[in-house]
Amino acid sequence: MSPFKTPVATSADSRDHRGAWCNHLPFGIIPDIMDIVILLGAPGSGKGTVAAALAGRGGSFNHVSTGELLRAAVAKGTPAGVEAKSYMDSGSLVPDAVVAQMVKDVVDAASGDAATMLLDGFPRNLAQAEILEKMGAPVKKAVLIDVPDGIIQDRIAGRRTCPKCKAGYHVKNLPPKVEGVCDKCGAQLTVRKDDNPETVRDRLAVYHRETEPLVAFYENKGLLARIDGTRGVEATCKAFVEAAGLK
């Protein structure tokens, strides 16, 4: 499942859950011993690619992808994962605060490393941003990787995925050595259902409706930086590091 299709509640969907979780905050407060940088941008803008590239270089970067976080928490059977699974099994959306608990769990686990946490996919809406504030999260910057919708649609249309080892490719930007064949395990590459044109348009519509308001939210707090995401990965990573004030 794509992280962009993770069943996470929107601000409208989660009104019944926000009061109990936000007011009492059973998940506690995030200690102010690390920097948190939020990656903003539409699906396909390169948030995950940039965060993974920086984390892969070692050092103090820790990439937290909410989609992967949810799947891992469910697989491990953590308290938040068990609760999330109960919603997913019933076909309901996972409340924003349950996702927040998962983020809190992984931040706590890495707190001894004093790492810079790169949050990819959280917050996804204003409700989650409010929860993050109530948790006392030390947000250093929110960086918008700005890419026009037309370019995003072209990017996603070229994605290919290995169904066996889950390696990702792109027909133009990251092609396999042999067309249609995974470099790592030799399986035939496929196009994910999430990457078909109609689904991409739906995902972009959800982004503009639910997530894009975060741009104004963090801009009003003086925390927003914008970078051009239409360039290559290396150039985008460099711009991201500079915009976020990281080393």
What are the catalytic residues?
Answer: 47, 124, 159, 192, 203
Contacts of 231 (CB under 8 A, 6+ apart): 239
Cβ(21)–Cβ(108) under 8 Å? no
Cα(140)–Cα(238) distance, integer angstroms: 17
| Three-state SS at 64 | strand
Backbone angles phi, psi at 240, to 5 degrees: -65, -50
Q: Is 94 exposed, middle or buried (0-12, 13-18, 19+ CB in 10 A)?
A: buried
Both tokens of 184, joined, read 């790592």
Contacts of 125 (CB under 8 A, 6+ apart): 10, 11, 96, 210, 211, 213, 214
Within 13 Å of residue 149, how many CA atoms lie on the same side as its CB? 11
